[in-house]
């Protein structure tokens, strides 16, 4: 299966909710076309702001191009939706090649941080990169075990310490090992508790500074993992998290289980942050690199 097919399959629930309605709408072009389109987009959790701007853009564009076919109109909408996602260089561009790229996985409880850490390890490994994982969620013993299992399954080393150990110390060890072993990427899983914002902020800050202790130039990506099933609430979660840590990119998980996939567009538009990957299932292979045009196409078209 190609990437586009996988994205389409992963977004099936969102597509079912809107693609057939979108198709009917573009074919019929009722007088209420624009209003109905806006409503359909909102149903897919694209959010009112984006829905309104996409629809008013389409209206203007069609006014300037009275001869367009429904297919051309839909293609225009698709392009515009894809254009809501910021253009950002690939993750690897931040890594000059003389040290590991460090990825810090952050997010609230249960969003899929540990699972995504494992999936990412496989993704990079399959691209021929060497990967090391750090179990910096020392809060629960089970969290370390969960990551070690991924490591075993993928034959990827996992740095860990005793439960209750200082997460920053685990992060430090992980990056140190990555340097010593000339690894390409170190992915650090963190704890998700957000009950105490100040503690979490201090902890992530400390992790960030120890990562750069040996080399201040170490490229660090802070990827916020968001559960797509919460739809528009993900916006508030991202806002909260940006107060805690300098989030540099997003990973949207559990898209397979929701019709609210459009929230990706709302998040990207409001925060100008790249969506780096999407999670479309529980298996190691269910993490896909994000492509804005494929994404837009996957939710707007049945075929």
Identify the residue whose tokens are 């790249």: 274
* CA 188 vs CA 42, 80, 99, 212, 236: distances in Å: 35, 35, 16, 14, 24
Nearer to ligand GTP, 44 or 223 (CB): 223
Q: Give min distance, CB of 16 to ligand GTP, in A.
A: 16
Closest approach, Cβ 227 to ligand GTP, in A, equals 8
Q: How far is the CB of 284 from ligand GTP (least distance, A)?
A: 11
* CA distance linking residue 232 with residue 252, whole number of Å: 13
Residue nearest to ligand GTP (CB): 279
Q: Positive or negative CA dihedral for 129, 8, 285, 230? A: positive
> 3-class secondary structure for 128-169?
CCCEEEEECCCCCHHHHHHHHHHHHHHCCCEECCCCCCCHHH
Neighbouring residues of 63: CB distance < 8 A, sequence distance ≥ 6: none
In total, the chain counts a number of residues equal to: 303
- Burial label, 291 (beta-carbon count in 10 A; 0-12, 13-18, 19+): middle
Q: Which of 47, 99, 100, 112 binds ligand GTP (CB under 6 A)?
A: 112
100/192 with CB nearer Mg ion: 192
Q: Which residues bind Mg ion (CB under 5 A)?
A: 113-114, 143
Q: Smallest distance from the beta carbon of 288 to Mg ion, in angstroms?
A: 20
Cα 200–chain centre separation: 21
Residue 112 interacts, among ligand GTP, Mg ion, none and using kind-specific CB cut-offs from 5 to 8 Å, with ligand GTP
Of the two residues 151 and 279, which places its CB atom closer to ligand GTP in the complex?
279
From 254, 260, 276, 297, residue interacting with ligand GTP (rule: CB under 6 A): 254
Choice between 112 and 219, CB closer to ligand GTP: 112
256 lines the binding site for ligand GTP (CB under 6 A)? yes
- Residue in 73, 138, 218, 253 binding ligand GTP, rule: CB under 6 A: 253
For residues 259-288, which are near ligand GTP according to CB under 6 A? 279-282, 286
- Decide: helix, strand or coil at residue 97: coil
**Binding partner of residue 136 among ligand GTP, Mg ion, none, CB cut-off 5 to 8 Å per kind:** none
Which residues of this protein are in contact with ligand GTP, per CB under 6 A?
Answer: 107, 109-115, 137, 143, 192, 253-254, 256-257, 279-282, 286
């Amino acid at each position: 299966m190609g990437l586009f097919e996988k994205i389409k399959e992963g977004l099936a629930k969102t597509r079912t909710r809107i693609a057939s309605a979108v198709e009917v709408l573009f074919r019929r072009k009722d007088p209420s076309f624009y209003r109905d389109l806006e409503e359909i987009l909102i149903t897919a959790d694209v959010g009112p702001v984006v829905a309104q701007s996409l629809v008013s853009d389409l209206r203007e564009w069609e006014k300037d191009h009275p001869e367009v076919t429904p297919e051309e109109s839909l293609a225009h909408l698709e392009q515009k939706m894809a254009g809501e996602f910021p253009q950002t260089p690939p993750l690897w561009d931040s890594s000059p090649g003389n040290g590991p790229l460090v990825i810090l996985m952050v997010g609230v409880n249960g969003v899929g941080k540990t699972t995504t850490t494992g999936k990412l390890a496989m993704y990079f490994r399959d691209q021929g990169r060497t990967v090391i994982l750090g179990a910096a969620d020392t809060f629960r013993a089970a969290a370390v075990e969960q990551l070690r299992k991924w490591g075993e399954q993928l034959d990827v080393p996992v740095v860990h310490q005793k439960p209750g150990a200082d997460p920053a110390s685990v992060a430090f060890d992980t990056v140190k090992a990555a340097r010593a072993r000339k690894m390409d990427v170190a992915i650090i899983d963190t704890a998700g508790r957000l009950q105490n914002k100040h503690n979490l902020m201090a902890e992530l800050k400390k992790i960030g500074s120890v990562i750069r202790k040996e080399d201040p130039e170490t490229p660090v990506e802070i990827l916020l993992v968001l559960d797509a099933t919460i739809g528009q609430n993900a916006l508030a979660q991202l806002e909260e998290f940006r107060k805690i840590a300098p989030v540099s990119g997003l990973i949207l998980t559990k898209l397979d289980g929701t019709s609210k996939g459009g929230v990706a567009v709302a998040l990207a538009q409001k925060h100008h942050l790249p969506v780096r990957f999407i999670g479309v299932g529980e298996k190691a292979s269910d993490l896909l690199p994000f492509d804005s045009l494929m994404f837009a196409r996957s939710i707007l078209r049945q075929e």
